[in-house]
Amino acid sequence: MSTQLPVSLINGTDANCVNAADRGLAYGDGVFETIAIHAAGPRFWNRHMARLQSGCHRLGIAPVDEAVLRKECDNLLGRVAGGRNYVLKIMVTRGAGGRGYRPDTSVTPTRILQLHDWPELPPGASGIRATLCSLRLGNNPQLAGIKHLNRLEQVLARAEWDDPEICEGLIQDQGGRVIEGTMSNLFLVKNTVLLTPDLTRCGVAGIMRNIVLEIAAGQDYASKVCDITLNDVFMADELFVCNSLAGIWPVTELDSNRYPVGPVTTRLQSCLQAFDDDKHEWRA
């Protein structure tokens, strides 16, 4: 295949420009999903769709027809070589509306699908370097957990470093609680207990975060969703971050702090490789 990526569909039509009045552009009024495409198709499709629809519901955006999204996804995948990995980004905005914050309930949501090449990711087995960001997330329970389009906090946090050896930055909220990475969820291991931050005030409830918790339960690891302090992070036996593209990344360095790639993290990585959540999710 000779299709040059990225390639986009907007409301099912080949295009790379949205209406200048689209509320996703004007206000970040929408949600998105970033989906790994493997040889068998989109990975964890049902989970991504559930979160997408939940985010639309919480923002008061009309639900998306999943069959339409599947058809459009197949359209894009039919243009590229099979047997390779890609990244699919799906964005749903409230649609094009007039000036002003008040949403117009009569507008039709905008669907944007983009297919990208698979990024170069550092190997997860050896661990990554991370840093602590100075930016603090604003607390807003009404938006907590949603993967909404307004990512300015993450943009500013990611702009804090340009060292290519640093793969991720951890972010605190206004109360000093450690919430997540700029593009990942955070886990600590202490005395074999798995700890992950409470996301009821802010942060994104990642697909991979939920999978890790499910795997941990299946391996009889105790886990706890709770407030995480900087001291908790510094005193952790193991530290790792995760997202739907990278899987599990052990953190071996956080500024001046060092961590081993420990047995719990290694076991979870191994279980994730064998984790099969895609049976009958896509093509028969």
Enzyme catalytic residues: 34, 147, 180
Q: Is 197:179 a contact under the CB 8 Å cutoff?
A: yes
Beta partners for 42?
Answer: 37
Q: Could you tell me which residues are beta bridge partners of residue 30?
A: 93
The C-alpha atoms of residue 98 and residue 107 are separated, in whole angstroms, by: 10
Phi and psi, residue 263, nearest 5°: -65, -35
Pairing of strands 166-173, 128-137: parallel
**Residue 196, phi then psi, degrees to nearest 5:** -140, 145
Closest Cα to residue 38, out of 106, 108, 85? 85
**CA-to-CA distance for 245 and 129, rounded, in angstroms?**
18
In one-letter notation, the amino acid at residue 279 is K
